[in-house]
Amino acid sequence: MSLYPLALLPQVTIRQGRAQFPFVPGSEPEFGTPDAVIDAWAEQGASWVHVVDEDAASGDTSNYPAIAKATSTHVQLAAAISTSAALEAAQAAKPSRIVIEPNDLTWTQNALGAHKDLLAVSLDIRAANVFDLRPTLDEAGCTRYVVRDVVTHHHWRHEDRHLLQEFCEQTDSKVVANGGIAHLEDLHTLHEIVPHGLDGIILNAPLYDGSFMYAEAVAAGADRFDMFFWGPPDPNSSW
């Protein structure tokens, strides 16, 4: 039986140069440098990590040099990147993928044309123009979307999940669901969309509050999905 590809990306959020280590039952939360935390997720089996640099996004000093020190896993970097200067700066983190914001459509099209598979475009599934915008981004060369739902509760349930499935069905590009997971049951819900084009899920809060461990998330779909299809970093890569 062939397995559908699906990557589970732990989210590492960097604030004031620090990030939280993976949850350890019976202990208090611990924080460390971005590279140490990213490597800790690699030790738990994550071949990709979604890194949110809130310092860079807010205009403070970025943590890109520290992120670049982590070489044990792929980094998908998000830092509210929507300009050429911000994109150029982000490359110092040596990420495998950079998530950009399509605030300026012309700039986004040009960036996609220049950088191709390095970039993913972040979209809000509830934005009024999201389905109208997608064909333009597809044509510009977008090969991957990171799709979020900004409602404060019930992410990816009912009509939200149907919108995500509809989006996946309308594009040949790959789609990563950003957040909205609180329990393993939520993960099972998104599993149903994988055959329609979803091939990545970003996990955040439940990995840090003890709701479930990363190994449990992998085990929840191990019989149906290839969780490691994106593979480990290439040590010979120029990035």
Q: Which residues sit opposite 121 in a β-bridge?
A: 100, 145
- Residue 225 pLDDT exceeds 50: yes
* CA 226/CA 212 separation, integer angstroms: 20
Q: Is 125 exposed, middle or buried (CB count within 10 Å of its CB: 0-12, 13-18, 19+)?
A: buried
CB 112 within 8 A of CB 119: yes
Express each pLDDT in 63-105 by its tens digit: 999 999 999 999 999 999 999 999 999 999 999 999 999 999 9
Q: Confidence class of residue 60 from pLDDT cuts 50, 70 and 90?
A: confident
> How many of the other CB atoms lie within 10 Å of CB of 156?
25
Overall residue count recorded for the chain in this entry: 239
* CA 224/CA 239 separation, integer angstroms: 32
Tell which wins on pLDDT, 127 or 38. 38
Percentage of the chain exceeding pLDDT 90: 77
pTM above 0.85, yes or no: yes
Express each pLDDT in 188-209 by its tens digit: 999 999 999 999 999 999 999 9
Min mean pLDDT across 124-133, 154-163, 172-181, 186-195 is at: 154-163
